[in-house]
Amino acid sequence: MKKDQIALKVINHHAAGIDVGSREHFVAVGQGLEDVKSFGVYAEDLSSLAQWLIENKVTTVAMESTGAYWQNLFVELINNGLEVVLTNGKFTKNINRKKTDVLDCQWIQKMPSIGLLPSSFLPDHTTEKLRTLCRHRTNMI
């Protein structure tokens, strides 16, 4: 019996994937090793990361919402005019392979390229303020 391969068409050629970490972020703008670069987590590193993405003509960036490590990076990318797809880590798990930061960022890059990565809901500023007040009220009661 001949095994068939299913090829998925790339629908977003300008997508990047970021494996968010506490000490380092790995960024993939393509599937080759030369398309992966690591950056630190401080403000100047995040600025360099955003500029590198812009230089590589990236318009969409996908990343996991890992702890609180994604928040500063998210703000920096949005401020640089990039569309950010923030997703739950359960949607980016690739089960049948060895886990490395480089492979993770390449997998995260591949998912939005072929249109298979859902974005998490992020409330607007007003809703976020209201949610914080409601949570505070509940804690006080």
pTM score, whole prediction: 0.77
Cβ partners under 8 Å of residue 141, min gap 6: none
β-strand partners of 26: 19, 38
User: What is residue 100's three-state secondary structure?
Assistant: coil
pLDDT score recorded for residue 58: 94
98-139 confidence digits (pLDDT tens): 778 788 888 888 887 777 776 777 778 898 889 889 999 999
CATH of domain 15-140: 3.30.420
24-71 confidence digits (pLDDT tens): 999 999 888 899 999 999 999 999 999 999 999 999 999 988 788 899
Query: Distance (Å, rounded) from C-alpha 61 to C-alpha 71?
Result: 14
Could you state, in order of their start, the residue ranges of all structural domains in the chain? 15-140
Cβ partners under 8 Å of residue 86, min gap 6: 63, 64, 65, 70, 74, 119, 120, 122
